[in-house]
Amino acid sequence: MVKRRWRDDREVFFKHRSGVSPESYVFEAACLGWLRDAHTDYGGCPVPWVRDVGSDHLALDFVPTAAPTINAARSFGAQLARTHQAGAEAFGELPPNATVAFIADLSLMEGTWETFGSFYAQARIRPLAELANNRRALMAIEHAIIIKLAEQLETEDPHLLGPPEPIARLHGDLWSGNVLWRKHDCVLIDPSAHGGHRESDLAMLALFGIPYLDEVLESYNLEWPLAPGWRNRVSLHQVYPLLVHAILFGGGYGSAAADAARSALANGSA
């Protein structure tokens, strides 16, 4: 990503990398548009305007940044809740005009589901566990515990999943690097937006750390109170991003994904 002057002398970030799927930037632009609708219609998190998109590039308005502050964190928490409240029609729903889905450079299964457990198991946990296993990013025992989690998810066990939730409009890749801090709020970039469970975005924020996380969560909870026991389900929602990292980067992420699955199953049976 490089900073450029655009056709109208506007400053933009110009994204271009070799080897990226021709559909990846188109998907990202569709995600940003869907999240922008949540910002415009519901007061959700701001996102940069898309100035141009093609099979090999994406041009976004440049976002001047500032140091993180408590006030910006509180604004972020409240706005993220409102982004989630914008909702979706089904679990797995993609933004309008999007026909394929990605997280980073990794393609994701497309489809829609009526329940979160089935969506999470069939569109995220099972296919990514198989891919990680094929790439030798998981040991056999690690793969087995993650598949056990998928099987339990498909039972829609409320002890594991928590109470039923409205389908949320998710950013979908909400780690700290995709949150740009400004003086009074935060701007979201690089989404993998879809209809999902709101705790998934929050769990990803916690996984890799973000400044003033407690303030973000407190403000979120004031805007849209979280369901009882949500803290016990953080590990459940972290299995997916950890599997993604195991596939893309290897290292200890496979073991971390299995540990999160064990924790989720233990919490769900407590």
Annotated catalytic, 173?
A: yes
Task: Tell me the whole-structure pTM to 2 decimals.
Answer: 0.95
The pLDDT score that the predictor gives to residue 5 is 57
The pLDDT profile of the chain, 270 residues, written as one tens digit per residue, is: 555 555 566 788 888 777 778 899 999 999 999 999 999 999 999 999 999 898 888 999 999 999 999 999 999 999 999 999 999 999 999 999 898 999 998 999 999 999 999 999 999 999 999 999 999 999 999 999 999 999 999 999 999 999 999 999 999 999 999 999 999 999 999 999 999 999 999 999 999 899 999 999 999 999 999 999 999 999 999 999 999 999 999 989 999 999 999 999 999 876
Instruction: Report domain extents, the chain.
Output: 2-269
- 200 and 119 Cβ atoms separated by less than 8 Å: no
Separation between Cα atoms, residue 46 and residue 52, nearest integer Å: 18
Q: Which of 173, 185, 201, 259 is catalytic?
A: 173
The pLDDT score that the predictor gives to residue 21 is 83
CATH number corresponding to 2-269: 3.90.1200.10
